[in-house]
Amino acid sequence: MTSSFEHDVLIIGSGAAGLTLALQLDATLRIAVLSKAELTEASTYYAQGGVAAVLDATDSTDSHVQDTLIAGAGLCHEDSVKLTVENGPEAIRWLVDQGVGFTLDETEHLHLTREGGHSHRRIIHADDATGRAISTTLVERVRECAHIDLMENRVAVELITTQKQGLDGENRVIGAYVLNKDTGEVEVCRARFVALATGGASKAYQYTSNPDIATGDGIAMAWRAGCRVANMEFNQFHPTCLYHPQAKSYLITEAMRGEGALLKLPDGTRFMPRFDERAELAPRDIVARAIDFEMKRLGIRFVYLDISHKPADFITGHFPNIYRKCLEYGIDITKEPIPVVPAAHFTCGGVMVNHHSETDIANLYAIGETSFTGLHGANRMASNSLLECFVFAMAAARDIRSKLAHTAAPPSVPAWDATQVRDPDEDVVILHNWDELRRFMWDFVGIVRTTKRLERALHRVLLLQAEIEEYYSHYRVSSNLIELRNLVMVAELIIRCALMRKESRGLHYTLDYPQLSAVLADSILSPEEPSRRRQRNDTENRRQSSALS
């Protein structure tokens, strides 16, 4: 008998966005939070920088808005930017009330630092491990709530909608099929509301600062269910990740440059002033491209980030975790520079949502990096992403509360049918395709692009999709297979959006169209017509054919 669960709200993802939504909803509701691994295994936990908000008397909402619009290279939705910035102070107060231990200054007020693109000090942080402080605190608060079921080690396979079930009326989400990694069973999780908070898709690239879970699950599931996506071509590459053969994608926070660290070539000379008057404090896309240019020009594998000219006490006090981590690899940042390289860091596009975080499908929400709110435009400004998580999770909670009275319980749905599949006998196929995808995405759809490279990548990704769908239809699902299937789908969306943009703007830089276009437009992709989409989803339909016992 297939395990089946029913909740009022199903939240897929346990990062800042998902946990905030869970805590903002009423305690009278039955809520489920799904996590691929432990609750803290999300991009939030690894965020070093902080949260941007206007809290200083010398700063202003207008200034934060203008900085964001400038960083976004003309594509930010100004109404979304204002909504986010105006609600920033409330979000910070809520986090403080939850017990997040932000760093204080000598006057016992919140210490504010500055990062690239910001004209003022407005980054609230917990030393250089802000994400860890936020994540662990919110997990503690969630664990205290008896009405919230924490379902760890589970991977969402597919959304369940009324349209997919052949039910009449408005298409709405009614749950999800979920793989229990401990038992291998695909469970049925029904809910009146579902929120996708699964993070971004930076694992599509060979080098990334993200944890292994960042495989674009929510974006892929929403697309297959019928939601539009936008601006997937804008993938932010963090300029400074630790380059060391034994280090696994360790991020060196942008706050270090905000506190005076300098980027240098192997001979010790600075190079950022040649690329931008803001030098090391230029937006991330400019810094990442500059590093990429110098690496290719000189044939080197990394550049250096140097803060050793600052007092040792200052360095260890502001960046204790980075100091300790680098020391593990024999690098004393108080005395020598850090070897760094750009890495895929943030997915600026995503599932299109309104100001309530609702998608094109009724009662389906997308929040955090999974969503496209219009905040980031063509380039995310540092520390705006965590703020977006809190503000739009709060908005989703308000919208769900307003709809509770007239939203019926989810209907019964078929169990997942695994009778026509068998255990995989060649997992090497998954591993090979995973590696191939990440390599050609890095080479052809990376920091600098061309139309020919993009076309080559599209051709290869479609072949991979065909191979993976054939595999998916014949073998029992696994976590690796689900993630690979989603990642290949999202890779196609990234490539197609990149091919649509005939200009270089923000994070999308192509040698074929190096200039800005006079026309400002988002790259919006719409799923196929329902009849064609149903053909594409034959595999899911076959597996959803048996009735619940």
Q: Which residues are catalytic?
A: 284
Handedness of CA 46, 80, 219, 292 (dihedral sign): negative
Phi, psi of 313 (to 5 degrees): -65, -40
Residue 194: enclosing H or E segment and its boundaries? strand 186-196
- How far apart CA 171 and CA 361 sit, in angstroms, is 6
Q: From CA 43, how far away is CA 138, in angstroms rounded?
A: 14
Q: What residues form DSSP beta bridges with 366?
A: 196
Q: Is 386 exposed, middle or buried (0-12, 13-18, 19+ CB in 10 A)?
A: buried
Angle at 261 between CA 60 and CA 447, to 5 degrees: 85
**447 φ, ψ (degrees, to nearest 5):** -65, -40
- CA gap 27, 412 in Å, rounded: 25
Q: Read out DSSP for 292-306?
A: HHHHHHHT-S-EEEE
Residues 164/150, Cβ–Cβ less than 8 Å: no
CA distance 79 to 66: 12
**Hey, what are 233's tokens?**
């071509």
